[in-house]
Structure 1
Amino acid sequence: DRGDRGDQGDRDTQNKQPVAAGKEDAIACAQWSAIYGQDEAKQAALIAATGLHNLLLMGPPGVGKSMIAHSLNGLMPSLAPSQSREVQSIHALSGSGGSAGSIALRPDARLPCLPPFRAPHHTASAVALVGGGQPVIPGEVSLAHRGVLFLDELPEFGRSSLEALREPLETGEVHVVRMRTRLSLPARALLVGAMNPCPCGYYGASSGPKHCHCSSEQVQRYRMRLSGPLLDRFDLALLLSRQSPSAITRPAPADSDAAGLYKATRLRIQRARQRAEDRQGCANAHLTPEQLLAQAGLFSEQARYLLRQFMNASGNSLRVHDRLLRVALTVADLEEAATVEPAHMAKAIEMRRGLDRPDAIKALA
């Protein structure tokens, strides 16, 4: 697919230009450096930015879910010129064109530099999320194409709105049909969802100034707002807990150290993404079942055995099985490993435990 590969000229240009343009790079670095603790969640964000894996962050208020989400598009590799023009054309259809706050622009060609970031309010309708109207305008999932779609307070979105996202998340396209119009729009967005463990956010806390007032029925209804097929579309699911005072109050790194660590992280992501592009022409999350089967030789027998054991014990769907394979491949790419070993598979399984252990959320209290 040329849209995923780009052309060689675009790759050369992308490799020669800065990771992100000036001001946007500094802002992205500051966002990432401001996240204290939450090492596992930050590792999940790194995996998500590399392989374009959908990410679900769960935890009480104030643990850094939104900060991690807002830093993701800054971690992702910069858009190649052809990708920039594609993103700009989608925004032009919506009338936002390159308006301030919608996308970061190159100072030379006025093209998008960083991948777009969209964060619609939870009152957004299905049409607002996937597109429609007369005339047809792109929805948020298309405006986030090649970037990040962040849905904060995920269970607060309407059920019909969330269900409308299922097909675009799977196919990377939105098909809008009206009486006189049929339009297909790209929608390859990295979905990041954030949610509290219960309506009040403090599930399991029975004492202290912030304790849970939710009944078991309220908690159950809250979680049932998200369907199983929708949750299946998340490759990574993390339970974030409150950080200790020592983690929050530790001295911040010097600006030069923070910038160096951030650039090293982005370079690691770029190299791992390029490994995937060179191997199969797309990010790991976008591998079709046929393409994934073609990569079977990259998985060691021990890694496959571990996955079989997990699937037999968890009863997850075949969709989850394939998503775990893709995540394990990204973990191996980040470590520049030639094959996927049991440690990579174990990491992929652990990074989705938030959906496989419902009782573990009690540990957040």
Structure 2
Amino acid sequence: MASVFNDDPVQIIDLTISYSLPGSAPVRAVDHASLEIHRGEVIGVLGESGSGKSTLAAAILRLLPPNAHYNDGSIMFRGGNLLALAEPELRRVRGKEISLISQDPALSVNPVIRVGDQISEVVRAHLAMNGSERRQHVEELLRAVGFDLPRQIYSAYPHQLSGGQRQRVGIAQAIACNPVLVIADEPTSKLDAALQAEVLILLSEIRKRHGTAFLVISHDPTIFSGFADRIVVMYAGRVVEEGKTADIFRRPLHPYTQALVRLSERHLGNARASRVRFPVIDGEAPDLTHIGIGCRFAPRCPERMQVCMSCDPRELTPEPFRRVSCFKYGS
């Protein structure tokens, strides 16, 4: 793979992933999903639990568990397919060119190693620096993510930091080698409203400063407002809608997207929103081990038609920069 990043997108093309389960049919977690991520873009992937969004994100770095299977598709980056890379080549990509911010800050740090040493180890693996240069680089990273006393934080152990501070350490670790793409899986879900806003501002600053692209996973549409350029909506393993963030909020097309946006508005209007769980859509998602015919959202859809129960909607482009899979917009 070339060593200089150009403006070609990261392309996920017809990706299909399933999980094998003992005594059960395979679970098709991602079903022919496609999306592109360009330099400096923030792409939000939105969906309920079980929609396939976290599997899609982990698949890019091939961090799925052993019972996961890549059934079809490709993930193109720098002219090559990440799914075809040997493990040594993939390790050179992980952390250096594509990195991950974990949903749980505690999972991204070793509890018995000083946080500065952990970030330094990422730098040592990918950048040609001596010990003193690495130390200086890590302290600069800690300052860049908002720590006024980076030397003190460098020497701290994870248990000595708050949840918000640990998330900042995780961000510093993710950007340590100036990657072109950072994948953030529910990066604010375990933080209160004030810390959520701080983290989103920080990610926006990193994007502006370094031209970093972000793929951000969330069940909550509100974190994408004013932050993401585009939103990709997933349901039951499939991409059901994509559009510019402002368009998704102003005029969502798919009934599932409409429901998510309505619930987010209700959530924001709740005076106790920072202390209550995000509301859910009525009904249940389909069993992904036994997917029947028809639109997967039809049993929960208030606008379903007869055709929705018997045929699978194809992807349409009803207007520029939009795609949607719904019979409301044609067949």
Please tell me the TM-score bracket, short chain as reference: 0.3 to 0.5
Give the TM-score taking structure 1 as reference length: 0.31
Higher strand fraction: Structure 1 or Structure 2? 2
Higher helix fraction: Structure 1 or Structure 2? 1
